[in-house]
Amino acid sequence: MDLAIRKGTVVTAAGTFQADIGVQGAQVMLLGREVPAADRELDAAGLYVLPGGIDVHTHLGRLRPFQGVDDFRTGTRAAAAGGVTTICEYVIHPRDTSLASQVEQWLAQGREQSIVDFGLHLHIGDPRPEVLNEMPALVEAGYTSFKVFMNRNFDSRVREYLTALERAGALGALTCIHCEDESIIGHLTDNLLGQGKTDVRYFAQSRPAFSEAVATARAVAFAEATGAPVYIVHLSSAAALEVTRRARARGLPVYVETRPIYLYLTRERFDQPGKEGNKYVGYPPLRDSEDVSALWDGLRNGDIQTVATDHVGLSFAPKAEPPDFSRIPAGMSNLETLVPMLYSEGVAKGRISLPRFVELIATNPARLFGMFPRKGTIAIGSDADLVLFDPSVQVTIQAEQMHSQADYDVYEGFTVQGWPKVVLSRGQVIFQDGRVVGRPGQGQFIPRERFGGL
């Protein structure tokens, strides 16, 4: 063996067990009590050995007008430090461009800069026939998921988007949908601004839960009309969750992602003095404590299948400058805290089990997005993407100690129970004892299989 990991508690979605792990090259080759001596040895006594986290919702590409401070290099540095060994990045598709041309540019960035492995989702921003005709070749090449925003000029081209959704389903691809109703949001925003209510404390009123729920209901209807599977990104409210729960109860192929900010923060953050509330602007907005409770119930009972970050590294300055809430850049950094905070707030506080935690941040993302069993589990033949996780350590989050380029953190001052000690990507150590040792360009592009459900 090239590497032996000894005396750890191995955790998969199926359960926990004591075992040594033998790694040869990039893969797990032995799992049990009889792992022979290896060139390298890691002592995992007192640690959990987890499959590497998979964040299937990131925005790191720098090829569009963008105020973000993270790129593949700095964003995946944060990922590695937090136990995330694979990301799925969204390729943005401007009007009057081809999907293939955008893919080439994002792929080049990832291969040059990424420390962890990566896949690419393809946003469809212009569903004209020439673009839809590109879809078969792209799916064949391993780009097996597409993205549609319902809050960006969607209604004017909804029939074309339905064609795109239907074609994606027929090709074996999963369509990710951002569910917010642009007409409701536009109407409410105009009314609030017209009344002089420009401050960020009115932001949540401009994008209420019912605007998310009605868009989610439409997405469900689109899945029913086309027979295509849909994946609802960053669901934030009890109302929208109930829509998806009813759809799944009827057997529709509807899958749900939520985002860390909706599990740990509420809309009261927008009431902070000065411009502090601007830090928390994201789409959809933070909700009420009742919504937070409903989402935790959904994580526990299976109504929500994944947790992903929607990471956009932003500095505070561009978020503080706009004259009204509608122009505050949306997004925040949270790649590094995805895994440890879900463990701390979920497992350590008794909200979810340890296997369910692994299911949410590794196994389900890998299954839904065509990477299982290469990714998302610890099994013979799987990639040796492994996190030696110390459940006893406590870390107080401070932006200056995080690895993103962002100059603030929405969880500043949170005390987190549990943190990665060693992180391996395909058998190579990329993070150890507080230091990222992986190199930009070390991450590989992962072509993904066609959608096969959970």
pLDDT of 152 reads 79
Domain 3-49+380-404+413-436: state its class: mainly beta
Q: What is the mean pLDDT of residues 285-295?
A: 98
CB of 260 closer than 8 Å to CB of 333: no
Q: Is the peptide bond before 373 cis (omega within 30 degrees of 0)?
A: yes
What residues pair up with 32 in beta bridges, in sequence order? 20
- 64 pLDDT higher than 80: no
And the tokens for 370? 């065509």
The DSSP-derived string for 300-318 is HHTS--EE---B--B-HHH
pLDDT of 153 reads 85
Q: Which of 313, 220, 298 is nearest to 262 (CA)?
A: 298
pLDDT in tens, 370-403: 999 999 999 999 999 999 999 999 999 999 999 9
pLDDT of 67 reads 65
Q: Which of 232, 284, 309, 260 is nearest to 60 (CA)?
A: 309
The DSSP-derived string for 21-79 is EEEETTEEEEEES-PPP-SEEEE-TT-EEEEPEEEEEE----SSS--B---HHHHHHHH
Q: Is the peptide bond before 273 cis (omega within 30 degrees of 0)?
A: no
Q: Which of 328, 315, 322 is nearest to 281 (CA)?
A: 328
CB of 423 closer than 8 Å to CB of 387: yes
Q: Which of 379, 351, 417, 369 is nearest to 143 (CA)?
A: 369
Inter-CA distances, 450 with 120, 166, 230, 232, Å: 13, 15, 14, 18
Q: What is the mean pLDDT of residues 316-341?
A: 96
pLDDT of 63 reads 57
Domain 52-368 of CATH type 3.20.20.140: yes
- 65 pLDDT higher than 60: no
Q: Residues with Cβ < 8 Å from 434, sequence gap 6 or more? A: none
Domain ranges of the chain: 3-49+380-404+413-436, 52-368
- 28 pLDDT higher than 70: yes
Could you tell me what percent of the chain has a pLDDT over 90? 96
Burial (CB count <10 Å: 0-12, 13-18, 19+), residue 364: buried
Q: State the Cα–Cα distance between residues 136 and 132, nearest whole angstrom.
A: 8
Q: What is the mean pLDDT of residues 204-228?
A: 98
pLDDT of 420 reads 98
